[in-house]
Amino acid sequence: MSTSPTLETVSTSVLIIGAGGAGLRTSIELAQRGVDCLVLGKRAHGDAHTIWAAGGINASLGSLDPEDRWEIHAADTLDEGHFVNDPTAVETLCRRAPDRIRELEEWGMAFDRTDDGKINQRYFGAQSFRRTCFVGDRTGQALMNTLVQKAMDLEVPYRENLYITDLMTESGRVAGAVGFDMDSGRPVAFDAEAVVIAAGGHTSLYRRSSSRPDENTGDAQALAFNAGVPLRDMEFVQFHPTGKVTPEEEAGHLVTEAVRGEGGRLYNTEGERFMERYSPNQMELDARDVVARANEREIREGRGTENDAVLLDISHRDADYIRERLPRMVEEFAAHGVDITKEPMEVAPTAHYAMGGIEVDFETAETRIEGLYAVGECTAGVHGANRLGGNSLIETIVFGEIAGTHIAETLGTRPGASMSEAALRGCVVAQDALGSANGRHTPEELIGRLRRLMWNHAGILRDEDGLLEGLRRLQQLRADADDLLVQASRTSRRYERAQNLQFMCATAETILRGALERTESRGAHARTDHDATDPAWRQNIRCIPTGDGEMEIDVEAAGTPSRRVQRAIDEDHELDYHHLE
């Protein structure tokens, strides 16, 4: 079914895999410095997951709170990350963020303004000051529009509907990548001196996630791991407390935090406002991980609805006020017959963000493979055990600029590598074999099983028995994945899902292994059999590939912040769990 008559070969100095905020910002830096590069993505130009980001992007501009400084932004980030973040990454991010925002403004991003014309800023969860810049509730879309326009002005070439399946390396250096064109079905080899992975997160591994369908399937992490790059902090997955439950195709999509910000209350099916038991002071406005765990416990202990949900109710507020402040929610629920001005919404936790990912050197964004870089949600280090809302968009921009700069400065100064013919042929043969697989299990069946497995065994609440059982089930699932039924060409959705499944299994194992190793609870990682945070565990867990998909686990002490940032931590600024205004 899936023969590949001709292999297309493409040569570029720098190949960028992924065209969200991270990939585009990297390409802009390269183009501005006169370096030839090619950006590609699985979808059309401008259609990356970044467009879904709503609330905002952080930088200590001090528009409304002049006492804010980058050191306090760093202190807040480390605090929310429970001090297992990479301090270099955090300090670089926070120090450089204001310049990157001003640059976006120069490039035409229409930030909301204060009355006196400054970039407006609002509170986001767990921040000491109003630091989140925004464009209404469509900040990600505005960011993408700005970056796409800038990249087009600089004539950065973009290749759409291109799926990368393998990275090519030779003697510890990157040589290029291999994939296939999802329109023509042709396999494609990219010969490049440097390759940047900017292919996003992995939250689609979970039964419920805030991700778009068929996106965030852990491709970036698996591509890097398969090429020999360690992954770290994989056990840290952020769950948002309020995802939709129905209809099925929207399950996991976010019910905005603004509902709770506007006074929304959480109830179980016994009519109890249960946050009184979990967080009597902050109630529904406590941190995301606290509310997500409370919701999950209520559901697990049998006080949830038949759809495994709790009830979020805002109907005690005036109907006109709800319509004015939450128009999108009113509309979205009304489309499915729920009038939120009169009745509660069913909500449940949903996987929202991957804190763990590819290990890089944050001064350059390079991995341990020379010439191979990683930027954006696919990397680990900035967020530690939990992400501060608004920090991920700025991460894509700050480290995109850093990667682009380092590549431009080093290109041509190091020995190159060329792709091995045999390895290239092997990749194409594997692509063909996948398309003609004629076994018993469809990719859709196995992806569904994997998502349930991850939800049940590596979800919000974890324990040793569950994680071990998860690993056992994953082993069985992988055996079934060797008996796959595809029978479809590279242009089909089924073929794409069959490829996704390979990446999802590889990435899932690192999450399960990391979560098993960490015998404590910290940030987003909650072990019911080790429910306290153990100071001795202020360490990072690394999954180191040893070849043939195998790994060893290594543990490394977390770094310490600089004196300037430590002083800001010691100043003990009051964190406020404000939500979207």
Q: State yes or no: residue 22 binds ligand FAD (CB under 6 A).
A: yes
Min CB(256)–ligand FAD separation in Å: 9
Ranges within 139-198 binding ligand FAD (CB under 6 A): 139-140, 162-164, 198
DSSP states of 259-281: HHHTT-EEE-TTS--THHHH-TT
Of 161 and 528, the one with the shorter C-beta distance to ligand FAD is 161
Q: Which two tokens stand for residue 190?
A: 């990219």
d(CA 82, CA 383): 9
Nearest to ligand FAD of 92, 268 (CB atom): 92
Closest distance of CB 251 from ligand FAD, Å = 14
Rounded distance between C-alpha atoms, residue 462 and residue 478, angstroms: 22
Distance CA 60, CA 153 (A): 29
55 binding ligand FAD? (CB under 6 A): yes
Return the structure tokens found at 1. Answer: 């079914």
- Give the one residue of 4, 15, 49, 515 binding ligand FAD; rule: CB under 6 A: 49
**Which residue among 240, 293, 297, 490 is the active-site one?**
240
Helix (H) or strand (E) holding 30: helix 21-32
Site for ligand FAD (CB under 6 A): which residue of 20, 98, 230, 304?
Answer: 20
Site for ligand FAD in 207-236 (CB under 6 A): 210-211, 219
Residue 468 Cβ, how far from ligand FAD at the closest point, in Å?
Answer: 30
Determine phi and psi for 115, rounding to 5 degrees: -60, -30
Least Å from the CB of residue 574 to ligand FAD: 22
What character string, x for contact with ligand FAD (CB under 6 A) and - otherwise, covers 365-404? Answer: -----------xxx-----------xxxx--x--------
Shortest Cβ 389–ligand FAD spacing (Å): 6
Helix, strand or coil, per DSSP, at residue 328: helix
Q: Which is nearer to ligand FAD, 10 or 319 (CB)?
A: 10
35 binds ligand FAD (CB under 6 A): no
Q: Segment 242-281, which members bind ligand FAD (CB under 6 A)?
A: 254
Residue 150 CA to residue 444 CA, distance in Å, equals 38
We find the least distance from the C-beta atom of residue 215 to ligand FAD, in angstroms, to be 6
**What is the distance between the alpha carbons of residues 197 and 374, in angstroms, rounded to a whole number?**
5
513 catalytic? Reply is no
Q: How many residues line the site for ligand FAD (CB under 6 A)?
A: 41
146: how many CB neighbours lie within 10 A of its CB? 21
The residue with its CB nearest to ligand FAD is: 20
For residues 477 and 78, what is the distance between their CA atoms, to the nearest angstrom? Answer: 37
For the chain, helix, strand, coil in percent to 5 are 40, 20, 40
Is residue 220 classed exposed, middle or buried when 0-12, 13-18 and 19+ CB atoms within 10 A define those classes? buried
Interacting residue with ligand FAD among 14, 15, 16, 17 (CB under 6 A): 17
What is residue 512's three-state secondary structure?
helix
Distance (Å, whole) CA 25 – CA 47 = 15
In this structure, are residues 481 and 474 in contact, taking their beta carbons and an 8 Å threshold? no
240 is catalytic: yes
Residues that bind ligand FAD in the complex, under the rule CB under 6 A? 17-23, 40-43, 48-50, 52-57, 139-140, 162-164, 198-200, 210-211, 219, 254, 353, 376-378, 390-393, 396
Q: Which residues are catalytic?
A: 240, 260
